[in-house]
């Protein structure tokens, strides 16, 4: 009859297996954490882009209002409503 040898697992092997298991688990935890962080940053970037688009539209609207209010016809109407007369000799044109 043969004697069967028992497989003996040393303390060093147990430590190595435990460290491999910890590395495996920590890899998944880090991957999930980093994925959540990237998703959060992407949402923040999209929110800021949306706010920039809204502000640009407001700026364009305000520029159009300024152009409308500074038009010659509008100024002439305001001047005539105030009881003033338009005198072309007093108008000075400044070129930029």
What is the per-residue pLDDT across 51-95, written as a single tens digit (0 to 9) for each?
999 999 999 999 999 988 888 888 788 878 888 876 767 767 777
Which pLDDT value is given to residue 52? Answer: 98
Q: How far is residue 43 from each of residues 30, 33, 52, measured CA to CA in Å?
A: 20, 16, 14
pTM of the model: 0.56
Query: In 69-85, which positions are buried (b, 16+ CB within 10 angstroms) versus exposed (e)?
Result: eeeeeeeeeeeeeeeee
Residue given tokens 């007093």 in the structure block: 90
What average pLDDT does this structure show over 16-34?
96
Which pLDDT value is given to residue 95? Answer: 73
């Amino acid at each position: 009859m043969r004697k069967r040898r028992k497989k003996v697992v040393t303390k060093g092997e147990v430590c190595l297996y435990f460290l491999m298991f910890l590395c495996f688990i920590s890899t998944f935890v880090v991957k999930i954490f980093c994925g959540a962080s990237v998703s959060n940053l992407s949402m923040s970037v999209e929110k800021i882009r949306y706010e920039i688009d809204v502000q640009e539209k407001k700026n364009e609207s305000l520029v159009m209002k300024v152009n409308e209010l500074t038009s010659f016809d509008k100024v002439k109407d305001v001047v005539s409503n105030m009881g003033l007369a338009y005198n072309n000799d007093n108008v000075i044109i400044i070129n930029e």
